[in-house]
Amino acid sequence: MLNIKSSGALKGKLIIDLSRVLGGPYCTQIMGDHGAEIVKIEPPRGDETRDWGPPFHEEDSAYFLGVNRNKRSMGLDLSKPEGKDVLLRLLSKADVLLENYKPGTMEKWGLGYEEVLKDKFPQLIHCRVSGFGSDGPWGGFPGYDAIIQAMAGWFSVNGEAGSNPTRLGLAMVDMGTGLYSAVAILMAITERERSGLGQYLDMTLYDCAVSLMHPHIANYNLSGEVPVATGNAHPNISPYDTYRTKTVDIFIGAGNNRAYAKLCTEIGREELIEDARFINNIDRVTNRDELKAEIESSLMKIDGAEIANRLAVAGLAAGPIHDTSQVVDHPHTLHREMTIEDGWYKMPGTPIKLSRTPGSMRHKPPKYGEHTHELLTEFGFDDHEIQQLLDSKTVLNKRQK
């Protein structure tokens, strides 16, 4: 379980989070796990991922619950002038504003960074996450994970050799953008310590997806050859693939001659070390199909879990292929505190392990508008103001249909 005593490395930082769905919420959960105060501002209808199920817990989907812990929620209608005024009062104390509205939306509401926020709050860091940015041939167009995967080439290198273009089973464009955004925010916070000034962070799903196309873009730029799907095999390394055994499939990676020789020894095939087809990595890549057949002919006589463990003990990169349930309950997952349980709440932990200021779970994911009154009070709104804002549905504590 996450450390419940640590105040976190980002204690004292206040982030106003206007984002929805995945990339932005994943970014702010990372920072919330490490002590930042996250105020999640939701539109009247709420973050739509609350409805992305089944499964659900008390009407909130697992999808939403998985990326929204350590946040407090307020409903706010920014399309109203009074809603804009509420946000500006919140921003007066904020370190970071994160939003993923369509480019131009904040400007339409009179909340653009260059036009308003930069001068009004010179220390504010404004991070915008969008599909393609605000300008260029695709500027302003909507972008979702799968569309960006397709356009950034991910489909073309995923799947078995000769298969149709295939989407990755993870929303890694969104989550990768969330990770890049967290890095960008931390860079801007560090720079602000020197300059005293905030800045605008222009983060796009497209840019992040292109940057993650390694080694495929690097290979293409150097060779001129368009990469294709190779299944589980690595385009630059062999052996680096899935292998059948007597029981379960395992994955083996041997990235150099020494590791390859050790693999051959462990499976009792020392003659393959000096086989002319497999002397160096370039030979093994060229003759990958023959090498796979040779290795599998030996592995098919051995229990998969046993040989994977034996190879790992010998210092080789190897492991069995697990399904989700095996991952969640694996002893190493538990040892690394990568499963958090607190009553009904059971989700992945933080992978960021800091020795003095480890991550912590201070809040379970909030119900919609759960903290509206509490937050407004903390930001100096009196009871009369709060009631007026609730009555006019400028701020909300219940989702609208």
Strand segments (E) across 265-362 = 317-320, 339-342, 345-348
Half-sphere exposure of 201 (CA within 13 A, CB side): 29
What is the token pair recorded at 276?
Answer: 């002319």
Decide if 33 contacts 66 (C-beta within 8 A).
no
Pairing state between β 345-348 and 339-342: antiparallel
Size (the chain), residues: 401
What is the token pair recorded at 260?
Answer: 């390859």
Pairing state between β 56-57 and 37-42: unpaired
d(CA 273, CA 286): 16
323 is catalytic: no
SS3 call for 106: helix
What is the token pair recorded at 290?
Answer: 């023959």
Please name which of 16, 64, 56, 54 lies closest in space to residue 36, comparing C-alpha atoms. 16
| H or E segment and range at residue 243 | strand 240-243
Pairing state between β 125-130 and 200-204: parallel
CB atoms within 10 A of CB 299: 21
Half-sphere exposure of 125 (CA within 13 A, CB side): 25
d(CA 227, CA 53): 36
- Write the DSSP symbol of residue 82: H
| Torsion on CA atoms 336, 338, 339, 345, rounded to nearest 10 | 140
Decide if 233 contacts 222 (C-beta within 8 A).
no
CB atoms within 10 A of CB 113: 22
Considering 33, 47, 60, 174, which one is annotated as catalytic? Answer: 174
Q: Give the residue numbers marked as catalytic.
A: 174
